[in-house]
Chain A
Amino acid sequence: MASLRTLLRPLLTALSRRRREREMADELQHHLELQTEAFVRGGMSPAEARHAARRAFGHVEGIKEQARDGWSWRWLDDGWRDLRTTVRSLRRSPGFVLAVVVTLGLGIGANTALFSILHAVLFRPLAVADESRLVVLREVQRRDAQSGYGISYLNFHDLAGRVRAFQGLTLVAGRTVAVAGTGEATQAPAAVVSPTFLDVLGVKPVLGQGFRAGHEQIGGLDGRAAVMLTYSNWQARFGGSTAVLGQQLLIDEQPHEIVGVTPEGLFPIEREPVDYWLTTAAFGDPAVAGSANASRGYRCYIAALGRLRVGVTVEAARAEVSAEHAALASAHPDLGPDLVTEVAPLRELLVADLRPRLWLVFGIVATVLIIACVNVANLLLARATTRQRELAVRAALGAGTWALVRQTLLESVLLAGAGAALGLLLAAWFLGGLQALQPTSLPSLSGLGVSPPVLLFALAAAGLTGLLCGVAPALAARHAHPAEVLKSGGRGGSDGGWADRVRAALVTGQVALAFLLLVCAGLLLRSLQELQRVKPGFEPGDILTAQISMTGRRYATEGFDPSKTNALLTRVESALRALPGVREVSHAQCVPLTDVDNNTRFSVVEFPLPPGQFVSSQLRFVGVGYFDLLKIPLRSGRLFAETDAANSPPVALVNEAFVRTFLPDRNPIGLQLKLGWGGFTPKKIVGVVADVRHRALNDAPRPEVYVPQSQFANAGVTLLIRTQGSAESLISSVRHVLQTIDPEMPVTALKTLDTYREDSLAPHRFSAFLFGCFAGLALMLTVVGLFGVMNFHVSRRTREIGIRIALGASNRDVLGLILGQGMRRVGVGLALGLLGGLAATQALRPHLYGVSPTDPLTYLALAALLGSVACLACLLPTRKALQVDPTVALRCE
């Protein structure tokens, strides 16, 4: 309590400062009176006594000053006085304050908004218990990462039974399911997990008991299959009602009982949100050959999640897993020596690909803030120079150097504080807009806003910005020599050169940073142009796509019947062909640019690989007219034909990349391919087709094998409909045809292939746009800064220019002088920016397509742009100076 009072006392006394001042004056006055009376009693006349008392007393104000030292709030008093002086002097120049606060507000706002995204994505804890103990297990081919990450059911269970490092393990996979039982049949994203999933994550269902051991059996626990809802789905489709527990849903036509609702924000390992949680039973009976769960080579799960036992490190778990994997591999030699099981922290999986991109953007925004800081520093510096006389007078009156520096710094910190307040408002507004736009584009982006760490960041940014902006003017204040300044009449005819040099250095740095950002933006723009020009290897125009799912009892009595599936496909296709405006119809299991892809291990029967070695290729199941419809050219041999039916000899096509990679200098036609998936009988290669870009426009073509759907039926296919005229106008009639044929068949993603193509460009367009905006902002700030500095420079040299002109200098001489000075700074800045750009754009390399990070054209064009804009910024103030009449200039004070 006593210590609290000690702490508070200075504050309290400071608040009662006026009263104490008055009391002190009273007290001293009283002392004087008593002394006077004493002298009168001693025999002096009243007037004499008053003088004597005053003499005896000493300098009243001096005593007051000394007495104040006895009060412990002296420092606070000083600070308060400084603050008031600063606020008063700022209020006198509202325009200046507005310019500074808005500049800093934009800079700090952008930084704060980005920091809160960065924080939410990279650092904010996930909605699970003790995240540090969660790791991810995935199998990958060491020498062929293209074949993808994942884990198979059987391998997982063998490992899980042996590894002792984990307290619990669960499988995780994604799957699109057909859902009926609540209105219209739909397809919905679901996650397939082990019943231990919630235990491993350390969370409890918000409703119900959740999965229990046994639910993963085929048919469920005691003959009842189970499903859980995600919180968002529960709210959106089930109205958040507690009555959903025990309700039956038809999922892929199997009855499932709702056994629980998972907490809000629970993520299914990948970033895409899901609606339902299913058990591993969704991938079939591991004891029945042919099901996904029964294949040791088919890594149908994205990963396994494990919770480490307390005290077990990730390294220890990694060592144990790799030892057990080796044991597994020796028991199953067909897994191959290249397959490894990786162990990584969970967060790594979630953010690994986002991290570099976010840091890159953060770097850019921070650079813009630095440029803004330089502008503000220059404004403050110019202000400090015009205030030199004031500072000099104060210094002459005894203000210490430290007091002057302190006040200059206080001014900039105060301005930065106001900037930060504005920045926080802007950031909150921006983040609100962002969430409204894309609520699911990033993991755990919900609840994004100004949280305490974000607030702390903004404060730190403001403090740092204040110091950064204030340090140059503060140093200039230190250089104020009272005598010289007062002698020169405060015109500052000569600046001492010091502040001028600082200004020049700042502007040079600014030009360098702006050039760097411009180059980055320019390269991304060029890259986008190149991407838009890319020929994907097929014609995406006028093609409508629709994904359909043909699973369930209607197409098979037990499991899945390929002949029924293909019979349905034939019916669907002929019905669609009959639609007016439809030119061609075909289908494929995965269509380019739609984000669906397959990979399989294979061998060429005629050229067997040494034992233990494997190669893999992308795999496509397509309809007969697929190549004609997409206009993918045939290079040699023949395409698929109607004669390649279910019972005809199995055939396959390969693309040119396949031949280049695996069969260079050989004729592939007639060779036999043995695939890991898609029917085990070797297939004869009957032709070679041209390459297509399947995954993305900037993705190099990969080796591909095509197999006719007629010889290996897939239940989920994408229909391709080439139309006459606009493909979009056919969407509703296509949907109608499909529903007439089978009202319970889920149909999704009725989109044109062009839309997919545009969507695949969206991230590139977005980053080019973002960079462009920031580079534009940087350019604008730099030009404004340059103009400001040159303008200031010229106005201070008006007299000198007048003398030069009076002595016979021509306009050209003066123009050359000023322009030369300005452009020299710009030139040095460009050179520095070039060096910086060459280094910084290396970080941009993964984001570029078809353009080198050192593309000379981009550098030259942007240097010319920046140079000419800068030239203009230098020219305008110079012209103003030239218009001044020399006699006026000479008289100007």
Chain B
Amino acid sequence: MTKEKADLLQGTLDLLILKSLQLEPMHGFGISVRIRQLSNEMLTVEQGSLYPALYRLEEHGWIKAEWGVSDNNRKAKFYQLTTAGRKQLQVEEQQWSRLCTAINLLLSHG
């Protein structure tokens, strides 16, 4: 477990959740696993942040939840992107890349 961990930048959690739901609906545990895998174990999401974020995104209408049956044959809550959520994902991706470009520019002048 010597892998370096990156701290989550404030406000990026929403982006990560929306991104991880882009392909298919998933339950909360799945989302946390997906984020860890996709980030090559560099990013982990605490449950204490994940669930409040999920409920908040649901309030915004960017994701919606449905009850389904999970792999272990148990009732589970699956989250999926709404149309508004897809738009929001685009917006956040653009914002993120603009931010990265700006920060990289700044650092390259150092």
Question: Using a CB–CB distance below 8 Å, which chain A residues touch chain B?
Answer: 9, 23-24, 26-28, 30-31, 33-35, 37-38, 57-59, 62-63, 66-72
| Minimum CB distance partner of B57 in chain A | A70
Please, how many angstroms separate the alpha-carbon atoms of A71 and B58 in the complex?
A: 9
Q: Check if B110 is an interface residue, CB within 8 A of chain A.
A: no
Q: Check if B16 is an interface residue, CB within 8 A of chain A.
A: no
Given contacts A70-B55, A70-B56, A70-B59, contact A30 B48 (CB under 8 A): no
Tell me whether chain A's interface is mostly helix, strand or loop, or mixed.
helix
Please, how many angstroms separate the alpha-carbon atoms of A761 and B52 in the complex?
A: 76
Tell me whether A27 and B55 are in contact (CB under 8 A).
Answer: no
Can you list 25 pairs linking A and B with CB atoms under 8 Å apart?
A: A9-B59, A26-B75, A27-B28, A27-B51, A27-B76, A30-B70, A30-B77, A31-B28, A34-B29, A34-B70, A38-B33, A58-B46, A58-B47, A58-B48, A59-B48, A62-B48, A63-B48, A66-B49, A67-B55, A69-B52, A70-B51, A70-B52, A70-B55, A70-B59, A71-B59
| Minimum CB distance partner of B58 in chain A | A70
Q: Check if B54 is an interface residue, CB within 8 A of chain A.
A: yes
Seed contacts A27-B76, A30-B70, A30-B74; 20 additional CB < 8 Å A-B pairs: A9-B59, A27-B27, A27-B51, A27-B77, A28-B51, A30-B28, A30-B29, A31-B32, A31-B47, A33-B74, A34-B29, A34-B72, A58-B47, A58-B48, A63-B47, A63-B48, A67-B52, A70-B51, A70-B54, A72-B59
Contacts of B51 in A (CB 8 A): 24, 27-28, 63, 66-67, 70
Contacts of A9 in B (CB 8 A): 59
Scan residues 6-34 of chain B and give those whose CB is less than 8 A from a CB of chain A.
Answer: 27-30, 32-33
| 0 or 1 for each of B42-71: is its CB under 8 Å from A? (1 = yes) | 000011110111111011000000000010
Contacts of B72 in A (CB 8 A): 33-34, 37
Contacts of A34 in B (CB 8 A): 27, 29-30, 70, 72
Contacts of B33 in A (CB 8 A): 38
Please, how many angstroms separate the alpha-carbon atoms of A68 and B72 in the complex?
A: 27
The interface on chain B, measured as residues whose beta carbon lies within 8 A of the other chain's beta carbons, has a size of 24
Contacts of A27 in B (CB 8 A): 27-28, 51, 76-77
How near does chain A come to B17, taking the closest CB pair, in angstroms? 12
Contacts of B52 in A (CB 8 A): 66-67, 69-70
Tell me whether chain B's interface is mostly helix, strand or loop, or mixed.
helix
Tell me whether A31 and B59 are in contact (CB under 8 A).
Answer: no
Contacts of B27 in A (CB 8 A): 27, 30-31, 34
Rank and list the top 7 A-B pairs by shortest CB-CB distance, nearest first: A70-B55, A34-B29, A70-B56, A70-B52, A67-B51, A31-B29, A67-B52
Contacts of B54 in A (CB 8 A): 70
How near does chain A come to B69, taking the closest CB pair, in angstroms? 11
Contacts of B75 in A (CB 8 A): 26, 30
Tell me whether B28 and A71 are in contact (CB under 8 A).
Answer: no
Tell me whether A23 and B55 are in contact (CB under 8 A).
Answer: no
How near does chain B come to A833, taking the closest CB pair, in angstroms? 58
| Minimum CB distance partner of A60 in chain B | B47
Please, how many angstroms separate the alpha-carbon atoms of A58 and B92 in the complex?
A: 29
How near does chain A come to B27, taking the closest CB pair, in angstroms? 7
Please, how many angstroms separate the alpha-carbon atoms of A59 and B47 in the complex?
A: 10
| Minimum CB distance partner of A10 in chain B | B59
Please, how many angstroms separate the alpha-carbon atoms of A28 and B48 in the complex?
A: 11
Contacts of A26 in B (CB 8 A): 75, 77
How near does chain A come to B75, taking the closest CB pair, in angstroms? 7
Contacts of A69 in B (CB 8 A): 52
Please, how many angstroms separate the alpha-carbon atoms of A58 and B44 in the complex?
A: 14
Please, how many angstroms separate the alpha-carbon atoms of A58 and B51 in the complex?
A: 13
Contacts of B30 in A (CB 8 A): 34
Please, how many angstroms separate the alpha-carbon atoms of A173 and B55 in the complex?
A: 76
Please, how many angstroms separate the alpha-carbon atoms of A141 and B49 in the complex?
A: 87
Please, how many angstroms separate the alpha-carbon atoms of A59 and B48 in the complex?
A: 8
How near does chain A come to B8, taking the closest CB pair, in angstroms? 15
Please, how many angstroms separate the alpha-carbon atoms of A71 and B57 in the complex?
A: 10
Tell me whether A66 and B29 are in contact (CB under 8 A).
Answer: no
| Minimum CB distance partner of A20 in chain B | B55
Contacts of A35 in B (CB 8 A): 29
Tell me whether A71 and B29 are in contact (CB under 8 A).
Answer: no
How near does chain A come to B57, taking the closest CB pair, in angstroms? 8
Contacts of A71 in B (CB 8 A): 55, 59
| Minimum CB distance partner of B54 in chain A | A70
Given contacts A34-B72, A70-B53, contact A57 B47 (CB under 8 A): yes
| Minimum CB distance partner of B28 in chain A | A31
| Minimum CB distance partner of B52 in chain A | A70
Tell me whether B48 and A66 are in contact (CB under 8 A).
Answer: yes
Contacts of A58 in B (CB 8 A): 46-48
How near does chain A come to B3, taking the closest CB pair, in angstroms? 16
Please, how many angstroms separate the alpha-carbon atoms of A31 and B54 in the complex?
A: 14
How near does chain B come to A649, taking the closest CB pair, in angstroms? 105
How near does chain A come to B45, taking the closest CB pair, in angstroms? 12
Please, how many angstroms separate the alpha-carbon atoms of A37 and B72 in the complex?
A: 9
How near does chain B come to A580, taking the closest CB pair, in angstroms? 97
Please, how many angstroms separate the alpha-carbon atoms of A27 and B79 in the complex?
A: 12
Contacts of A57 in B (CB 8 A): 47
Q: Which one of A27, A28, A69, A71 has the greatest number of beta carbons of chain B within 10 Å?
A: A27
Q: Which one of A24, A59, A66 has the greatest number of beta carbons of chain B within 10 Å?
A: A66
| Minimum CB distance partner of B49 in chain A | A66
Contacts of A24 in B (CB 8 A): 51
How near does chain A come to B62, taking the closest CB pair, in angstroms? 13
How near does chain A come to B50, taking the closest CB pair, in angstroms? 9
Contacts of B46 in A (CB 8 A): 58
| Minimum CB distance partner of B72 in chain A | A37
| Minimum CB distance partner of B48 in chain A | A63
Please, how many angstroms separate the alpha-carbon atoms of A126 and B68 in the complex?
A: 68
Please, how many angstroms separate the alpha-carbon atoms of A70 and B55 in the complex?
A: 5
Contacts of B28 in A (CB 8 A): 27, 30-31
Please, how many angstroms separate the alpha-carbon atoms of A27 and B54 in the complex?
A: 12
Please, how many angstroms separate the alpha-carbon atoms of A244 and B73 in the complex?
A: 89
How near does chain A come to B88, taking the closest CB pair, in angstroms? 15
Contacts of A30 in B (CB 8 A): 27-29, 70, 74-77
How near does chain B come to A77, taking the closest CB pair, in angstroms? 14
Please, how many angstroms separate the alpha-carbon atoms of A27 and B67 in the complex?
A: 10
Contacts of B29 in A (CB 8 A): 30-31, 34-35
Please, how many angstroms separate the alpha-carbon atoms of A30 and B52 in the complex?
A: 16
| Minimum CB distance partner of A71 in chain B | B55
| Minimum CB distance partner of B59 in chain A | A72
Please, how many angstroms separate the alpha-carbon atoms of A68 and B52 in the complex?
A: 7
**Contact residue among A23, A63, A70, A72 (Cβ-Cβ distance under 8 Å from B77):** A23
How near does chain B come to A1, taking the closest CB pair, in angstroms? 13
Please, how many angstroms separate the alpha-carbon atoms of A492 and B24 in the complex?
A: 64
Please, how many angstroms separate the alpha-carbon atoms of A24 and B76 in the complex?
A: 11
How near does chain A come to B14, taking the closest CB pair, in angstroms? 12
Please, how many angstroms separate the alpha-carbon atoms of A58 and B47 in the complex?
A: 8
| Minimum CB distance partner of A13 in chain B | B59
Q: Which one of A35, A62, A70 has the greatest number of beta carbons of chain B within 10 Å?
A: A70
| Minimum CB distance partner of B46 in chain A | A58
How near does chain B come to A69, taking the closest CB pair, in angstroms? 6
| Minimum CB distance partner of A34 in chain B | B29
Q: Which one of A67, A69, A72 has the greatest number of beta carbons of chain B within 10 Å?
A: A67
Please, how many angstroms separate the alpha-carbon atoms of A9 and B60 in the complex?
A: 11
Please, how many angstroms separate the alpha-carbon atoms of A6 and B27 in the complex?
A: 26
Please, how many angstroms separate the alpha-carbon atoms of A59 and B46 in the complex?
A: 11
Contacts of A63 in B (CB 8 A): 47-48, 51
Contacts of A38 in B (CB 8 A): 33
How near does chain A come to B67, taking the closest CB pair, in angstroms? 8
Contacts of B77 in A (CB 8 A): 23, 26-27, 30
| Minimum CB distance partner of B30 in chain A | A34
Contacts of B76 in A (CB 8 A): 27, 30
Please, how many angstroms separate the alpha-carbon atoms of A26 and B74 in the complex?
A: 11
Please, how many angstroms separate the alpha-carbon atoms of A145 and B77 in the complex?
A: 88
Please, how many angstroms separate the alpha-carbon atoms of A68 and B51 in the complex?
A: 9
